[in-house]
Structure 1
């Protein structure tokens, strides 16, 4: 039995296992608290067992640089998963913009996946986005991204931290994330701004009417109608959001690989 095991692939297997496990710490959909930790570890183990025979991994000696390679693999997995999570956080930010205009900004809920507080509308859109991701087999694309990361970032190569391209790329990603959130929130926020203008005109023409009492349920009702009307638009925006997320992951991998 021991003769059938190729012990020369154990160092490469450990490097692959560290990167995949680090992916599952921050990668959307796989990093959530509702997925048990033993499942993540076991899934990472079997994926690494498959990848070690498909990835071009020569014999890697265990020396002083090997531990630096382990740290590099953990950094690659954490950063690539985190950049994908940052793009997906645009949905939560868009929901925060909408809730602030609706009057729901004070009412947050606990996201069971992350354990953090999230806006009501943002959580609603986030659930739609995750269901859309599962319906189009996006979780398979994320696993494909793990596999193709070894073509862009070899396991025996180091990350070129000497240039500032990584910091510039992260800043551009933040800007793109806020732009996507603004595009998702602008239909409802714009309609609620018109409602505020109309309430201001009513307050000036009919002083006897208490617009503070009428305005809150009116804005909530208008928001629900606009969300129902623009729901098909949000599906298209979520589709573009996932395309942006995969492109961002690929771009960061290319920078890590020195491309």
Structure 2
């Protein structure tokens, strides 16, 4: 096949691949951040589609008998792309949740900043942990895995196939629940030390009623939380790396669950 010498069938396949890839990249980590201009993201989608298209010549697509049928296939491809893209971003949502519960326990619940990547309000600790997780993600070639997952989706789910099976729904629900599991695992050291400090303050308040525990407790929780976070940072990085390796298999399993059987 020569460049710009496409048949109608090949053009249909190329555009349907573009819709799936574009919808995936628009919500995936790294590629889907609002800080990246929309035009650049569209250009990346065109580039990835052009690279992957000749790698899947085995995909044969029956010509659509009408516009409505072709539009229905477009909706299916966009749905598949968004589903896979959302699953890939759950790991970072878990990190943001960890930052939120850490900040809330330390008394930072009212301190929000604008996240430069998503351009949305985010708790201060959530933004710090997300930036750290993103650096680790890139160091572990997470962006390469995302592109591999895009390619794997066409191996497992050829154009025009795929469905939201019971297995896929169950997988999506389990991965959504993992947001809370990831958050609790990452925030556990800070939560435990804050809990211990609050218990200690409660004992002090009972034994020394004259002491104003509220005035002492607020800065104490901040200090204890920040010190614990700095000391536990290597462990948090290790836990994130372990979660990331398991997350890779979960994403591939979800893609396979979308196969229309």
Give the TM-score category using the shorter length.
over 0.9
Structure 2: which 5+ runs fail to align? none
CA RMSD of aligned residues (A): 1.8
Distance in 2, Cα, partners of 1:3 & 1:134: 33
2:85 alignment partner, one of 58, 81, 92? 81
1:123 corresponds to 2:124: no
Distance in 2, Cα, partners of 1:59 & 1:244: 34
Structure 1 residue 218: Cα displacement: 1.1
1:213-252 C-alpha deviation (Å, 9 max, x unpaired): 1111111111111111111111112112322332222122
Note closer, same or farther for the CA distance 1:60–1:50 as it changes in structure 2 (3 Å cut).
farther
Distance in 2, Cα, partners of 1:47 & 1:34: 20
Flag as ranges the 4+ runs of structure 1 deviating above 3 A: none
2:220 alignment partner, one of 218, 221, 225? 218
Equivalent position of 1:113 in the other structure:
117
1:256 corresponds to 2:250: no
Equivalent position of 1:22 in the other structure:
23
Structure 1 residue 91: Cα displacement: 0.7
1:6-31 C-alpha deviation (Å, 9 max, x unpaired): 23411111011111100112111111
Structure 1 residue 176: Cα displacement: 2.1
Note closer, same or farther for the CA distance 1:256–1:70 as it changes in structure 2 (3 Å cut).
same
Distance in 2, Cα, partners of 1:4 & 1:127: 42
Distance in 2, Cα, partners of 1:122 & 1:244: 22
Distance in 2, Cα, partners of 1:107 & 1:13: 46
Structure 1: which 5+ runs fail to align? none
Please give the secondary structure, in 2, of the residue aligned with 1:109.
strand
Note closer, same or farther for the CA distance 1:236–1:219 as it changes in structure 2 (3 Å cut).
same
Equivalent position of 2:97 in the other structure:
93
Distance in 1, Cα, partners of 2:104 & 2:43: 42
- Is the Cα contact below 8 Å between 2:161 and 2:260 reproduced in 1? no
1:143 corresponds to 2:144: no
1:90-129 C-alpha deviation (Å, 9 max, x unpaired): 1111111111110001112222222222211111111000
Distance in 1, Cα, partners of 2:168 & 2:140: 30
| TM-score of the pair, normalised by structure 2 | 0.92
Query: Number of residues paired by the alignment?
Result: 256
- 1:1-259 matches, within 5 Å, as 5-8=5-8, 9-55=10-56, 56-64=58-66, 65-159=69-163, 161=164, 163-258=165-260
Note closer, same or farther for the CA distance 1:3–1:45 as it changes in structure 2 (3 Å cut).
closer
